[in-house]
Amino acid sequence: MGCGKEDVSLFNKWQLSSYLKGPGEVVISQNFRLKVEFNKDQTFSCDLNTNSCTGNFEKGAKKFEILSSECTEICCDSINSIEAYQLLTDSVSEYEISGKQLKLKGNNYISLQFTLLD
């Protein structure tokens, strides 16, 4: 047994704190919401401002890919929450967990930073 430190698993609920959509284009999650929960059966659920989405994903040691997703009608959600969700489903190819932080990364500087929800 280690020093009592428990590793945080991907299989949790996460709150988006910020995302990077290109070189130097950081968007801080203040005026919009995006929460995602990854389950051990490789399904996920995601809450945007108004609507919700579900789908399937695949993960390896560091590799991560959204295989499918569907949402209730995407209307009424903020542009930022829709953009962050599209980056999550279309552009992410790996993940990294450090403490209570989850970083989902893709090509072209794309990165979504999440904080663990207790």
Domain spans, the chain:
13-116
- How far, in Å, CA of 47 to CA of 18, rounded? 15
Collect the ranges in the chain with pLDDT lower than 50.
1-2, 4
Going by C-alpha positions, the residue among 50, 48, 85, 53 that lies closest to residue 71 is 53
User: What's the Cα-to-Cα distance from 99 to each of 45, 93, 105, 108, rounded to whole Å?
Assistant: 22, 20, 17, 25
3-state secondary structure of 88: helix
H/E stretch holding 85: helix 79-91
State residue 4's pLDDT score.
46
Pick the CATH number of 13-116 from 2.40.128.270, 3.40.50.150, 1.10.3720.10, 3.30.750.24: 2.40.128.270
